[in-house]
Structure 1
């Protein structure tokens, strides 16, 4: 069966969105993702949003590309490319007229989409109620229900505590100590030790609290606010994980796939 006529549009192309985008493209769906001018992607090696900075991106064998024109993005999507365009307000949605709209921005609140935005509307994580705001919600909280499709009700509320990785939770996340411009002093993929300075914001140093692999890091020059996540240290230290979709993103991708097929019938 061909799904080439079932365009899927994503709001956001970060790590969790990219796992689902990749899965849908491999299944034969054309996909376009709408991004901001400076996406705040942490795990850049597995985020199609990096195409905004680099012109192209690749996630586990699936190619992504930034397009300036919507018509070119449509053609790219039909060719199996994860087509990325800059459209933070979602103005292109009406013109693109997708079969499926996926809000993967993880805003934790419903700001500007509804069940009328597309024939099938899916949201990732908390902030939306299935059957009221959208048709389906996909659970994004680690645990028993990760990736579960919700057709009535909402996802679990955000706890503010990062999921466990290699036995660590909050310590593995790097955050901005103050607001300002982020300047990295280490590179994505570097091995770090506890106490290493990973970057700075307005002269305030950001130090790793763990030994491990720097698997996530914002781009140089991105403006951040105090407390905002700017990086991620993987205490497992396995370089193979740097370029592979995480277990969490894969679980959510499965949920998105299920919701898409349930929605389009």
Structure 2
């Protein structure tokens, strides 16, 4: 794995990021509680349906904070209601597409899909296959630009650190092609689970990459990430513009240059 300057990063730094993931996720949760008054000023847009997809081995419980936040902003938001995310099983792939199609029919328009980690990969694949159903995709720490081996099993303790190291072991990764719908990839160079380079897409008129300081596990509760999601969902249909770091209320400090 490399730093932004292209120099190799010491393996011990990667190990430290992996080991501190849970603690740093708790820091994000605490920052969310402190920053709640500022987040009330986040952008709001046209109410439209939003589906939130969980990460690997996670369920809708893991996206509860994010969904509650979006609901308070006025969006009709749902989880995927498919249990734990064990990977792209046929019933899961079909279930997500059927859910998005049903919501699009009920609301008379395409659906925004927000996916955390593996959920973001699902969201992008859905947009590739059924672009008329998807208004936009926002992925959070999703390594879609690389194809790591499918995890064999859930790990714990020292085994979990090994899984994290393997998921970060990508080489010669290049930004993925842009989607046929507007898309935002939120990534962090402090991600202790996946190589941040594997979260990048080619930037263009309707595609972008937005950097934050969050941990991988804390993406769904980090104030900066929540602001980005709100800002992206507030984009008018057909008039999407790239994210601009907010200058007010000191929020700019939450967003690195990239």
TM-score (normalised: structure 2): 0.30
Task: Select the structure that is richer in helix.
Answer: 2
Relative contact order, higher structure (CA 8 A, sep 6+): 2
Task: Select the structure that is richer in strand.
Answer: 1
The structure having more radius of gyration, on CA atoms, is 1
